[in-house]
């Protein structure tokens, strides 16, 4: 089975469209959370992800859409959540609220989470160089898929593989192209992929929505 892996869409519709158009044929798609936040198209991205993904887990921005003030110390994050709260329908907010912290896919062989797999460490950043530390969380799984850092990477660890497909909508690994991955569950093989998208379109929409200028500026640098 081939599974498309996406994460951290962050309301960036042009990036999401580019990823879905570029993705090779897969049997299903899963999303490691943070569908909303930062960028101007939360409602549109919720609908695209609901339609495309068979499983989506709750990211920290998805979880706090009703309380943008949670991110008062980070004006970009707070403004993105304020915009999402005002833009999403009641049904879309209910869908986000109903997302689980963790899901499994491929017959329960792979664990899908947004950040650290341990519930007590929800929201902890796990960068690719730290993936070997997750071997004790592998348990009966063949792999763990996570997001949150916006840094693409994969590592073989004891008992399986750990994958961060990268961020669709706000890469932070120095590459401005939208990130995603394709997992072959028969071979435990991961294809990390990038695709360019129309950042100028996002920049214009950020300005039109009254979102912070840096929300768009960082997209050009992948930071």
Indicate whether 160 belongs to any domain.
no
pLDDT at 17: 98
Q: Provide the number of structural domains found in the chain.
A: 1
* Contacting residues for 211 by C-beta, under 8 A, at least 6 apart: 38, 39, 40, 76, 79, 80, 83
Give the model confidence (pLDDT) of 72-81 as tens digits.
Answer: 999 999 999 9
* Residue 175: per-residue pLDDT: 98
Note whether residue 135 is domain-resident. no
For helices 42-52 and 90-97, the axis angle rounded to 10 degrees is 60
Residue 67: inside a domain: yes
DSSP assigned state of 114: S
The parent domain of residue 26 ranges over: 2-102+167-220
Could you tell me which residues come within 8 angstroms of residue 64 by beta carbon, excluding any fewer than 6 positions away?
70, 71, 81
Could you tell me if residue 45 is inside a domain? yes
85 found inside a domain: yes
Query: Does residue 192 lie within any of the structural domains?
Result: yes
Q: Would 107 be classed as within a structural domain?
A: no
- Residue 6 inside a domain? The answer is yes
Q: What is the pLDDT along the chain (223 residues), one digit of tens a residue?
A: 999 999 999 999 999 999 999 999 999 999 999 999 999 999 999 999 999 999 999 999 999 999 999 999 999 999 999 999 999 999 999 999 999 999 999 999 999 999 999 999 989 999 999 999 999 899 889 999 999 999 999 999 987 999 999 999 999 999 999 999 999 999 889 999 999 999 999 999 999 999 999 999 999 999 9
Q: Which residues pair with 112 in a beta bridge?
A: 103, 145
- CATH code of the domain containing 74: 3.60.21.10
């Amino acid at each position: 089975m081939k599974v498309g892996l996406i994460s951290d869409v962050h309301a960036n519709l042009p990036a999401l469209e580019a990823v879905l158009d570029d993705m090779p044929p897969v049997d299903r798609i899963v999303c490691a959370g943070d569908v909303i936040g930062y960028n101007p198209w939360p409602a549109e991205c919720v609908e695209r992800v609901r339609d495309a993904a068979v499983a989506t887990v709750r990211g920290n921005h998805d979880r706090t859409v009703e309380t943008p003030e949670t991110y008062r110390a980070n004006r970009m994050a707070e403004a993105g959540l304020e915009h999402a709260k005002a833009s999403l329908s009641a049904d879309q907010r209910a869908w986000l609220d109903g997302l689980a912290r963790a899901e499994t896919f491929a017959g329960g062989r792979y664990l899908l989470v947004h950040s650290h797999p341990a519930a007590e460490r929800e929201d902890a950043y796990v960068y690719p160089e730290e993936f070997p530390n997750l071997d004790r969380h592998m348990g009966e799984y063949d792999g763990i898929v996570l997001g949150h850092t916006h840094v693409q990477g994969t590592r073989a660890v004891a008992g399986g593989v750990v994958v961060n497909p990268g961020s669709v909508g706000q890469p932070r690994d120095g590459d401005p192209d939208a990130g995603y991955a394709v997992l072959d569950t028969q071979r435990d093989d991961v294809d990390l992929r990038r695709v360019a998208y129309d950042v100028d379109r996002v920049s214009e929409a950020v300005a039109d929505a009254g979102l912070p200028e840096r929300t768009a500026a960082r997209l050009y640098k992948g930071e």
